[in-house]
Amino acid sequence: MQSQTLPTGADSLSPLRALFADRRLGTMVGLGFSSGIPFLLVYITQSAWLSEAKVPLGTLGLMSEMTLAYKFKFLWAPFLDRYDPPVFGRLLGRRRGWIVVAQIGIALTLAGIAFGDPAHWLTWTVLFSLALGFAGATQDVVIDGWRITVAPVERQALMSSWSEVGWRIGNLVAGAGALYLADAFGWRAAYLCMAFCMLPGLIAALMAPEPQSDTAAQPPPSSFVDTIVAPIRDLIGRLGPLALPTLLLVAGFRMPGYISNAMAVPLFKSLHYSNSDIATVTKLFGFPVALAGTFFASWVVKRIGLMRSLLCGTVFASASHLSLAYLAVHGDHGGGEFWLFATSVSIDDFAYSFASIILITYMSALATTEHAATQYALLTSLCAMPGSLLAGASGFLIERMSFEWFFTMTALIGAPVALLCWWVSRRQGGVAPGQKGD
C-alpha cells in the first residue's frame, strides 16, 4: 500500500517544486495528457478527415453527436465505482485497473478508426468513433475518481492544475499535432500515432500510487438499482437542506461561460480578424495564459480557502465577459488593434481557467471516497448541461441585440450565481458542504 501523506513542508512548495516532491502530481500530468487525447479525435479533428472524404454536411452535423458519451458518463460511472475490472483489478486495484482498461480501449479504437475509410465505409468509422467516445469518457470518470480518492481536498486544486497542464498538451497533440501528421503522412498514420500517444498515460497509471480506499474490501450492492441510486442518495443526504442551492450553484457556475464561448469566434470574425490572428491569440497566447490561471487558482485556494475562492471565481469569470463586450465596441476591423484583441481574449481565458480549477476543486470536495467517480461525473454533467442547452439560443440572441449587449448580458448572469455562492458560504461557515480531510 502506498502512503498518501505529503512530504514534510510539501504544502509550502511552489507548484514546480511540488511536482518533484509529490509523486501524485507527476502522475496527474501523465493522466491529464492521456485524457486530452481522445475527445478531439472522436469528432472535431476527425471532421477534417470526413470533410476530405466528401461526407455530406448534414451527416457531418449528425456525427457531432458522437461526443454525447462525455455528457452522459454518469450513467455507467456507478459500476466503475462498485466493481473491479477483470484481471487488471487484481493487479492494480479498482481505479487504476479501470484507467488501464479504458486506455487500452482508446488505443484499440483509435487503431480501428485508422484502418477505416469514411469515403467508402462510413459505418465502420461511426461505430469505432462511438466506441472511442465511450472509452474516453470512461477514462475521464476513473481518472477523476482516482484523483479525488488519492489526495485530500486541500491538494485537489494543485492536482487539477497539473492535470490541466497535461490535458492541454494532449489536446494540442490531438488537435494541431494530428492535423500536421495527416498532411505529412495521411490520416491512417495520424490516428495510429495518436494511439501510440496513449503510452505516457498508461505508464502514469502503472506508476500511480494506489488509493487506500481501493485496498479495503467493500460489501457488494444489494441490487442493480442500489448501485445507481446509492451515490445520489448519499450526496443529497450529506448536503441536507443545502442540497438544492448547492446543486443550483454547480449548475449555474459555468453557465455564463458556456453561453459566451458559443459566440466568441463569431465575434472575432465579425471584426474581420483573420484565421491566423484568431489561432495566434487563442492557441499561442492562450496556452500560457490558461496555465497561469490554473496555478493562480491553486495559490488562491490555499491562501483564502475554497468557498471564498469559489465566490471570487464566480465574479471574475462572469465579469471577464465585459472584456469581450469592450472588444465588440472598440475592436479594430482588420487594422492595427491586434493587441486589444489579444488582451481582451487573454483576460477571458485567464478568468475561465481560474474559475474552472476552483469549480473542479469544489466538486471534488462534494464527492465521497466510496462514490467518487459517480458523484463527480454527476456534478460535471450538471455543470455542463444547462449552459450547453442555453448556448444553442445564443445565435438568435445576437440577431436581436448587438455583440456588446450580448456579452454584457452573459456577465450579468453571474450576479445571481455569485449571490447564491455567498449565501451557501455563509450557511456553511466558509467550508464546502461535505468537505472531507485527508
Q: Are 151 and 95 contacting, i.e. CB atoms less than 8 angstroms apart?
A: no
At 191, the pLDDT band (50, 70, 90 cuts) reads very high
Q: Note the pLDDT tens digit of each residue in 62-89.
A: 676 777 888 888 889 888 888 889 889 8
Q: Fold identical between 14-218 and 225-428?
A: yes
Instruction: Say which amino acid occupies 374.
Output: T
Distance CA 188, CA 178 (A): 10
Q: List all residues 6 or more positions away from 309 whose beta carbon is below 8 Å from its beta carbon.
A: 297, 300, 301, 358, 361
User: Which has the higher per-residue pLDDT, 56 or 100?
Assistant: 100
pLDDT at 188 over 60: yes
Per cent of the chain over pLDDT 90 is 31
Task: Kindly state which CATH superfamily the domain 225-428 is placed in.
Answer: MFS general substrate transporter like domains (1.20.1250.20)
Q: What is the mean pLDDT of the chain?
A: 83
Distance CA 392, CA 231 (A): 31
Cβ count within 10 A of residue 387 = 21
User: Which has the higher per-residue pLDDT, 59 or 74?
Assistant: 74
Task: Kindly state which CATH superfamily the domain 14-218 is placed in.
Answer: MFS general substrate transporter like domains (1.20.1250.20)
The domain locations on the chain are 14-218, 225-428
pLDDT at 246 over 80: yes
Instruction: Give me the mean pLDDT over the 280-301 stretch.
Output: 85
Exposed (0-12), middle (13-18) or buried (19+): which is 83, by Cβ within 10 Å?
Answer: middle
Q: Note the pLDDT tens digit of each residue in 424-438.
A: 988 876 556 555 443
User: Which has the higher per-residue pLDDT, 394 or 422?
Assistant: 422
pLDDT at 5 over 50: no
Highest mean pLDDT, choosing among 150-159, 330-339, 400-409? 400-409
